[in-house]
Amino acid sequence: MKILVTGGAGFIGSNLCDALLERNYEVHCMDNLLTGKYSNISHLIGNQRFTFFETDIRSMDACKEAMNGCDIVAHLAALGSVPRSINDPLTTNSINIDGFLNVIHTAKELGIKRFVFAASSSTYGDSASLPKVEDIIGNPLSPYAVGKYVNELYAHVYALNYGLSYIGLRYFNVFGKRQDPHGAYAAVIPKFIQQFLDGEAPTINGDGTNTRDFTHIENVVDATLHAIENTNVDADNQIYNVAYGSSTSLNALVALIKEAITSRKPQTTLPNVSYGPFRKGDIPHSLASIDKIKTNLDYSPSVSIKEGIQKTVDWILSSTR
């Protein structure tokens, strides 16, 4: 089977490319390297079953070229980050909505057998209900959330009108290997780890009581593989939460990070965190129900938050040597 991974040089995409090649798929990887990195896939160049297209999903011709001959599409390309979308809603819309439409329309035109795409927990918006259940959402709180919800709507419409088979995966706060710890829009876990290792005091947005359902990359890749290889037709054309299924406060997260670092560098003295204002567009609490994906796709997470942080610390330490 031949599969296209859009955003394949990104954090999640590159890990998925590795896993697909290990399972003997032929992989087309499409990425414009705006946020993805060539270094994430450089080890795959030269593999006869891997082809890299440095192109942009905002070009229909580029989508057709990269998708040509593929059986399955895993669409992960997006401009991530809630704050970035608030600062630049036009580019976010162009990539996350217009780009998505190019990819799914090309998939329909080329007769793709299965379309798996990265949805987002941001779709739950201002819904206060916990845990988050797939069919109960609120109003979106950012341009990023708007785009991700529109993706779900388009997938439904393409299944309804054109018979395209899809599965949407609402990823919850993914972290792990190859996630960039630097930059203004770095995710909290790699950013905090790197800051502690550099002797800097991380800043928590708010008082640290906000909670998230942090999900290690190995769980996310495993769930995505379950969606790609699903043979239960009754599970198709639906949206699923991809999470660990438990919540961790930012204060507890810091404690786990410190524990992981000091267990590997016992002589290290780590600074205390500082606290700043709550971040615009953020939700206070996030916890996913994963009952649906367990039942329909036979998926269960295997890497806990604690183990995942230990793995991430090890990766950052090894990559900075």
- Annotated catalytic residues are 144
Whole-number Å distance between alpha carbons of 273 and 195: 10
How many degrees, rounded to 5, is the angle at CA 14 between CA 9 and CA 16? 140
| CB contact at 8 A, 53 and 66 | yes
Distances (CA, A) of 135 to 20, 126, 138, 169, 283: 30, 14, 10, 13, 18
Whole-number Å distance between alpha carbons of 239 and 118: 10
Whole-number Å distance between alpha carbons of 28 and 48: 11
Give the residue among 141, 101, 104, 102 at the shortest CA–CA distance from 120: 141
Whole-number Å distance between alpha carbons of 105 and 59: 12
β-bridge pairing 211-212 and 248-249: antiparallel
Taking 3-state DSSP, the helix, strand and coil percentages for the chain, each rounded to the nearest 5, stand at 45, 15, 40
Strand ranges, E, within the chain: 2-6, 26-30, 50-53, 72-75, 114-120, 166-171, 174-175, 203-205, 211-212, 215-216, 238-242, 248-249, 274-276
Q: Which two tokens stand for residue 17?
A: 């490319």
Q: Give the SS3 label for residue 266.
A: coil
Whole-number Å distance between alpha carbons of 186 and 40: 16
Whole-number Å distance between alpha carbons of 122 and 289: 15
